[in-house]
Amino acid sequence: MEFASGYLGMTTTVVFLLLLPCVMSMPREFDFFFFVQQWPGSYCDTRRGCCYPRTGKPAADFSIHGLWPNYDDGSYPSDCNRHSHFNISEISDLRDEMEKEWPSLSCPSSDDTNFWSHEWEKHGTCSMLDQHQYFQAALNLKTQLNLLHILQSAGIHPDDGLYSLESIRNAVEEAAGFTPGIECNADESRQRQLYQIFVCVDTTATTLIECPVLPRGRCPHLIEFPAF
Ligand SMILES: *[C@@H]1O[C@H](CO)[C@@H](O)[C@H](O)[C@H]1NC(C)=O
C-alpha cells in the first residue's frame, strides 16, 4: 500500500508537471493596458546612471517604456507564451521609429533589441496581438499622446525646475481626458523627480480609458522636471 500510494502521488506530480507548460503558455484575458512613457533625464541622473544606445543620445523627449496588459485588481499576466520569441524581422518596417521612440537606456549594453525582446516576451505575449500589431499599437499611442508637448503647453518644462505634482497631473488630464498615474524616482542627491507617466488603454490598444487602478507613484507635492 505504501508503495502504491507513493507511486500514485508521483504519477500525479509527473502529469501535473507535463501539463503545466501548456497551461502557462495559454494567454488569459486581461482587463486593460498600461501605456507607460519615461523621461530620459530622470532615468539617466540617478545613482545607477544610463547608457546610450548605438544610435547615440536619445532626443529630449519622453520615450516608451512599455504597453503592459493588466488586471483591474492591479496584478498582471506575464510571459504568456514561452514559445513566442521576439523576431526583429517582423517589425523591420518599424525599426527606425522604434529606435527613436523606444530606445533602451540601460547599462552596460543599452541594446534596443534586448529591451524590445524583454517587453515582447514578458508583456507583449499576453496582449492577444502579434508582434507587429503590438509594437505598432504602442508607437501609435505615443503619437496620440505627446506628453512633452502637453506639459510644455501648460508651462511645465524640463528645466531642472520644481513643479507641483497637481499641475502635471492636471495638464495631462485636461489633454488626455483621463487622470494619469505619475511615478517619481530620485536623482543622485535624492531629489524626487518626474520619472514615468502611466495612462490606461482599452484591450484593443487604441482607446484611452480611465485607469481602473494606478501604481503607487512615490511623488511628493513638488517634484523636479530635470533637463536632459
Ligand atoms: C522571423 O520573422 C520572419 C518574417 O516574418 C520569418 O521569415 C522568420 O522565419 C522568423 N524567424 C524565426 C526564427 O521565427
Rounded Cα gap, residues 66 and 81, in angstroms? 18
124 or 6: which carries more pLDDT confidence? Answer: 124
pLDDT over 90 at 21, yes or no: no
Architecture of domain 29-225: Alpha-Beta Complex (3.90)
Ligand 1 center to residue 131 CA distance, Å?
A: 11
The residues spanned by each domain of the chain are 29-225
Q: What is the pTM of this model?
A: 0.88
pLDDT over 80 at 96, yes or no: yes
Residue with cell 518599424: 94
Q: What is the pLDDT of residue 24?
A: 53
Q: Is 207 exposed, middle or buried (0-12, 13-18, 19+ CB in 10 A)?
A: exposed
Buried b (16+ CB within 10 A) or exposed e, 168-191: bbebbeebbeebbbbbbbbbeeeb
CA 149 to each of CA 42, 67, 166: distance values in angstroms, whole numbers, following the listed order:
18, 21, 17
CB 83 less than 6 A from any atom of ligand 1: no
CB 92 less than 6 A from any atom of ligand 1: no
Q: What is the pLDDT of residue 228?
A: 98
Ligand 1 center to residue 206 CA distance, Å?
A: 26
C-alpha grid cell for residue 87? 523576431
**Tens-digit pLDDT profile for residues 169-217:** 999 999 999 999 999 999 999 999 999 999 999 999 999 999 999 998 9
